[in-house]
Chain A
Amino acid sequence: VQLLESGGDLVQPGRSLRLSCAGSGFTFNTNALNWVRQAPGKGLEWVSSISGSGNYTNYAGSVRGRFTVYRDNSKNMLYLQLNSLRAEDTAKYYCAKGWSLDSLGQGTLVTVSS
């Protein structure tokens, strides 16, 4: 199993960013996927989940309405669209496989600052 995140960057408050996660080594379209984040020096926070088909999604209250999770099973790709970014969204974002997060990637760093 390999999960490779990308797309992290330094962005200004209020701007948008899209994160990507490429999955390999497993049957992509039958596995739920998740985003988990970790602010610098802080603990883990679940952000969002999406079912294998993409028909079901769920979000943490702190990002609901601003972030959108989606996937392209034809490309084995998971995405997280981050809109209206705030300083408190600064974190390393990990993608994780399965409803019980059996594997996580290396993460991609998002910094929100003016």
Chain B
Amino acid sequence: DVVMTQSPLSLPVTLGQPASISCRSSQSLVFSDGNTYFHWFQQRPGQSPRRLIYKVSNRDSGVPDRFSGSGSGTDFTLKISRVEAEDVGIYYCMQTTYWPRTFGQGTKVEIK
């Protein structure tokens, strides 16, 4: 199975400051069609998860542009340019290149 390793697992941030979460996969996530099926999800407290970013860097509809995704191969990053109170929650990376699909452990973002 492809192991997804996130860091840090806990991220205290100051409102208005940037934040960054890393995710590494145990093997390259480039599929045979040339696409990289790597995604980021956000789960706010008490809510269902929602996808934020798909295929590394594409924001889902309604996702603020302060969220951005980057990376390639095995190393990926989610950045929040200026953290707002509504960004508190747990962020998960996930790969859908291989079976079984696998998630990272989650990174808890909280306000200092």
Interface residues of A, Cβ cutoff 8 Å to B: 34, 36, 43-46, 49, 58-61, 94, 99-107
Contact = CB atoms under 8 A, between A and B. Distances in A.
B54 A104 contact: no
A34 to B, nearest CB: 8
Interface residue tally on B, bucketed by range:
20 to 34
A105 B96 CA distance: 19
Contact of A104 (B49, B96, B100, B101): B49
B48 A100 contact: no
A101 B48 contact: no
Given A100-B39, A102-B60, A46 B103 contact: yes
A46 B106 contact: no
B50 A104 contact: yes
Contact of A94 (B49, B90, B103): B49
Contact of B92 (A44, A100, A102, A107): A44
B49 to A, nearest CB: 6
Given A100-B55, A102-B54, A45 B48 contact: no
30 contacts: A34-B101, A36-B49, A43-B90, A43-B92, A43-B103, A43-B104, A43-B105, A44-B92, A44-B94, A44-B106, A58-B99, A58-B100, A59-B100, A60-B100, A61-B100, A94-B49, A99-B37, A99-B96, A100-B37, A100-B39, A100-B55, A100-B96, A101-B39, A101-B41, A101-B96, A102-B51, A104-B50, A105-B48, A106-B48, A107-B48
